[in-house]
Amino acid sequence: MMSDIQAVQARLVDDINAASDLDTLEALRVAALGKAGSITALLKTLGGMSPEERQAQGPRIHALRESVTTAIASRKAALDAAALDVKLAAEAIDMTLPAADTPRGSVHPVSQVMDELAEIFADMGFAVATGPEIEDDWHNFTALNIPETHPARAMHDTFYFPDANADGQKMLLRTHTSPVQIRTMMTQEPPIRIIAPGRVYRSDSDATHTPMFHQVEGLVIDRGIHMGHLKWTLETFLKAYFERDDIVLRLRPSYFPFTEPSAEVDVGYKQEKGRRIVGGNGDDEGHAWMELLGSGMVNRRVIANCGLDPDEWQGFAFGVGVDRLAMLKYGMDDLRAFFDGDLRWLSHYGFNALNVPTLSGGISA
């Protein structure tokens, strides 16, 4: 009996240690310790033994069960650890490998155009300035020579906040980027050359108007600045932006409270396959003029409002819609799609995040 038990134990433990997977191990467990298992059967024989026999065999059989149970547990732990190692090895990511998939994510056309603008104007010595989108009435209107009673205020469809600020100023979402002119002149010594791209807000919505849109403001303040500087700057900018030399501008007299004189700038274009292609003289056969931006010589009163002497400092300013510039260059037709967040639209019109606009590389390469 004693050697029987030892033989059973040796065979079972060998089998357990040789089990190559969890299923085999489980089968061995059931065969030994299950209801009809060999060790269970041995345990049952205890009931038919004499007390002396039972005293002798009991501890042996229990020890057998104990050692088989321990062997199964340690084999199971070993098999579990090996399975985990295999799983980890299969899921390992080598961070040093190049991206296997095509890169996800793209640059929104508006961001791309703002980067292009910054690049083009940096080449002409312009810095990028920013201002708050939540503005006060003074910076957005009054300082720009648009007093309380001015009809231009009604034209701007302004989103006002219900409460005034600590100075009793009405607060609003800026209706244009022109307040950045004021903030720049108040904080920087001339000469000044800046562009200010950013979001602006008006209570207006249809196929060509969204309540939020983008503008870029331009401002130059120096001695002896005149309209010729303005026209050259706009021409140079638009040639670089549209990547063609045949850009022809037409300056039309206009009115803005913050510029005097003011000019609306039109650009010649041609209609091709339902798309406006910028270029050529608007008066030429097959061409027409399209209104593109507002501009002018900074009004003396605006310069004085910022604490500068208008007899010493002159300048020009302009403001243009960035979304409009993007639509014209990249052939998009519905402004609302810009802000829908539709991934299909973005994957069609979006830009590779790694292709940063540079003048040397081609601004939209």
- Give residues 52-91 in contact with ligand DAH (rule: CB under 6 A): none
Q: Which stretch binds ligand DAH (CB under 6 A): 51-59, 76-84, 231-239, 313-321?
A: 313-321
Cα gap 263→30, rounded to integer Å: 94
**Least Å distance between CB 264 and ligand DAH?**
8
- Pick 142 or 281: Cβ nearer ligand DAH: 142
Residue number, nearest CB to ligand DAH: 319
Residue in the structure block whose two tokens are 């022809």? 248
Instruction: Give yes or no for residue 313 binding ligand DAH (CB under 6 A).
Output: no
**Least Å distance between CB 319 and ligand DAH?**
2
Q: Which stretch binds ligand DAH (CB under 6 A): 28-36, 51-59, 110-118, 311-319?
A: 311-319
Cα pseudo-dihedral 52, 54, 57, 59, rounded to 10: -110
> Angle 51-91/2-18 helices, nearest 10 degrees?
10
Q: Which stretch binds ligand DAH (CB under 6 A): 31-39, 108-116, 235-243, 315-323?
A: 315-323
Q: Which of 237, 318, 338, 351 binds ligand DAH (CB under 6 A)?
A: 318
Which positions ≥6 away from 229 have C-beta within 8 Å? Answer: 220, 316
Q: Which of 190, 279, 319, 357 binds ligand DAH (CB under 6 A)?
A: 319
For residue 220 the two structure tokens come to 């130059």
Cis, peptide link before residue 190, omega less than 30° from 0: no
- Length of the chain (residues): 365
Helices (H), the chain: 2-18, 22-33, 38-45, 51-91, 109-123, 137-140, 151-155, 179-187, 227-242, 300-305, 322-330, 343-349
| Distance, first Cα to last Cα, the chain | 89
**φ and ψ of 78, to 5 deg:** -65, -45
Instruction: Give yes or no for residue 296 binding ligand DAH (CB under 6 A).
Output: yes
Q: Which of 259, 299, 305, 314 binds ligand DAH (CB under 6 A)?
A: 259
Instruction: Give yes or no for residue 178 binding ligand DAH (CB under 6 A).
Output: yes
Distances (CA, A) of 80 to 29, 76, 83: 16, 6, 5
- Give residues 148-177 in contact with ligand DAH (rule: CB under 6 A): 176
> By C-alpha distance, which of 249, 174, 244 is closest to 213?
174
- Pick 257 or 357: Cβ nearer ligand DAH: 257
Q: Which stretch binds ligand DAH (CB under 6 A): 191-199, 290-298, 332-340, 354-362?
A: 290-298
**Least Å distance between CB 105 and ligand DAH?**
32
- Map residues 190-229 to x or -, x wherever contact with ligand DAH holds by CB under 6 A: ---------------------------x------------
Cα gap 219→215, rounded to integer Å: 13
- Pick 57 or 259: Cβ nearer ligand DAH: 259
Q: Is 27 helix (H, G, I), strand (E, B) or coil?
A: helix
Residue in the structure block whose two tokens are 């056969």? 285
**Least Å distance between CB 205 and ligand DAH?**
17
- Give residues 330-349 in contact with ligand DAH (rule: CB under 6 A): none
- Pick 33 or 124: Cβ nearer ligand DAH: 124
- Whether 259 and 297 have beta carbons less than 8 Å apart is answered as yes
> By C-alpha distance, which of 178, 143, 176, 127 is closest to 308?
143
Q: Which residues here bind ligand DAH, judged by CB under 6 A?
A: 176, 178, 217, 256, 259, 294-296, 317-319
